[in-house]
Amino acid sequence: MADYEVKSTNTKDFNLTKADALVGRLKYESWYSFKAEIQLVSGDANFTIRPKGFWGTTIEVKHNERTLLDFEMNWKGQIIINSKISDIGQCFIIKQISILKNIFVLLSNEEKLLTIKPNLQWSKMNFDYQLISTDAFENLENKELLLLTAIHCTNYYITMMTSTVVATMAGI
């Protein structure tokens, strides 16, 4: 089990730390954009996150043009992440487990791997996150990439739900 923190430095940049040591960064191109870059401290690897296709409903995480992960939201409000990192494809699900407490989990084969707790920073109008992983998560290949992808997915979920509420309130 491990604890991680994600701090937003502004509306576009998020730093992932473990025991106050920088693990990686998630940097969006602009506010409320799905386009982003992940930079990991270990291995100095950079990954791009881009919507795919005409509607842009599927989002891909790539390294040197190779798709490692892709994700999309299903009709249940869950985000399905498909891993293509190894020959054995793995599927993950991010879903909100508590609306009142605003808690998300990352699951694989119905096993909880990661708990994601957003914390709205009113002064920055952005979220910081507390991440609590299980031992099974800590044994995953490319867990740092998956952590920052999970943050992108959670931001995506919050953005979609917020825009739905705003549109509903506006009578659109």
pLDDT digits (tens, 9 = 90+) for 25-49: 999 998 768 899 999 998 768 999 9
Other Cβ atoms closer than 10 A to 107:
16
For the beta carbon of residue 123, count every other beta carbon within 10 angstroms: 6
Cα separation, 69 vs 147, in Å, equals 12
pTM for this entry? 0.89
Give the pLDDT confidence of 60-79 residue by residue, as tens digits: 999 999 999 999 999 898 99
Question: Above 70 in pLDDT, residue 144?
Answer: yes
pLDDT category of residue 172 using cuts at 50, 70 and 90 = low
Rounded Cα distance, 137 and 94, in Å: 14
**pLDDT tier, 133 (very low <50, low <70, confident <90, very high otherwise):** very high
Percent of the chain, pLDDT > 70? 91
Residue 160 tokens, joined = 């979609």
The residues with which 128 forms a beta bridge, in sequence order, are 119
What is the count of structural domains for the chain? 1
Task: Determine the structural domain holding residue 112 and report its residue range.
Answer: 2-170
CA 95, 97, 99, 101 dihedral sign is negative
Q: How high does pLDDT run on average in the chain?
A: 88
Q: Which of 156, 168, 169, 172 is nearest to 74 (CA)?
A: 156
| Mean pLDDT to the nearest integer, 72-96 | 89
The tokens describing 52, both together, are: 């795919």
